[in-house]
Amino acid sequence: MTYRAAEDIDLIQRFLAGDTAAFNQLMAAHEDRVFGICLRMLRDRDAALDATQETFLTVFRKADRYKAEAAFSTWLYRVAVNTCYDQLRRAKRASADALPESHDPADVRPDDEYAAVELRPDINAALAQLSPEFRAAVVLVDLEGLSLETAANLLGTPVGTVKSRVFRGRKLLAQQLGNLNDPPQHPRNE
């Protein structure tokens, strides 16, 4: 068990005993990473802040159920990813509901649902083209630096599946970046 994992267990126990300082320490230790995952998954700052808050609310409300069999951070990040999946589903439904009857779905780019974030625009646009599952794998492993095993644990999938998603996700990302870097070939209407 790492020092961080052991400290998290201690902090959770203190939090459950009513120590509000433990709450602050847990937040300080994890909030940026949770926010990073959410921002890269959702690509919108406000949505990411909402998801981060919802994640911590869920985790703190269910803290008494934490069994310390897995690292607290793994549980926390799993809740974060699931919260992001939920938000993406809700956004997709809301977007579909808002479409007028004559709307052509081909006109909708995936990143229309959210405003741009501070990732480099080309990376952001390329990530936006990935399915949530591929995006989660790439974000967790390549952007958040989690091991394949940790990512697999928190995503609830075999390591091989995560590895495959990372490989294919990177490939799609690179192809998107290539497309984005090419100058547009639209005919001019002059």
Partner 1 sequence: MHEHDPDLIMALAEGTLDASDVPSAEAEIAACAECSEDLELQRLALGALEAAPPVAMTEMESSRMRRTLRHELGLVPAAKAAKPQRRWFPIGALASAAALLLALVVVGPGLDLLGPGGDDDVSEVAAFSQTTTTSAAAEADDGAALSGSEAPSGAATESLEEAAADLTTTTQSATTTTSAAAETTTMAPPAAAKAMQFSTEPNLATLEDAIIRLGITADTDLAQFEEQFRALGLAFELATTGPAAYTQECLAAGVDSIAGVTSGYPLGETPYGGGDGMVAVYETETPGDVVVAVQDTTTCEVLDASP
Chain residues that interact with partner 1, rule: CB under 8 A: 18-21, 23-24, 27-28, 31-32, 35-36, 39-40, 49, 52-53, 56-57, 60-61, 117-120, 122-123, 126, 138, 142-143, 163-164, 166-167, 169-171, 173-175, 177-178
d(CA 67, CA 70): 8
The dihedrals phi and psi of 186, each to the nearest 5 degrees, come to -70, 140
Least Cβ distance, residue 43 to partner 1 (angstroms): 11
Least Cβ distance, residue 112 to partner 1 (angstroms): 21
Q: Which C-beta is closer to partner 1: that of 78 or that of 163? A: 163
Residue 70: CB partners within 8 Å, gap ≥ 6?
153
d(CA 106, CA 115): 19
Least Cβ distance, residue 100 to partner 1 (angstroms): 35
Give me the residue label for tokens 């002059």. Answer: 190
Q: Which C-beta is closer to partner 1: that of 90 or that of 171? A: 171
| CA proximity to 137, closest of 119, 160, 120 | 160
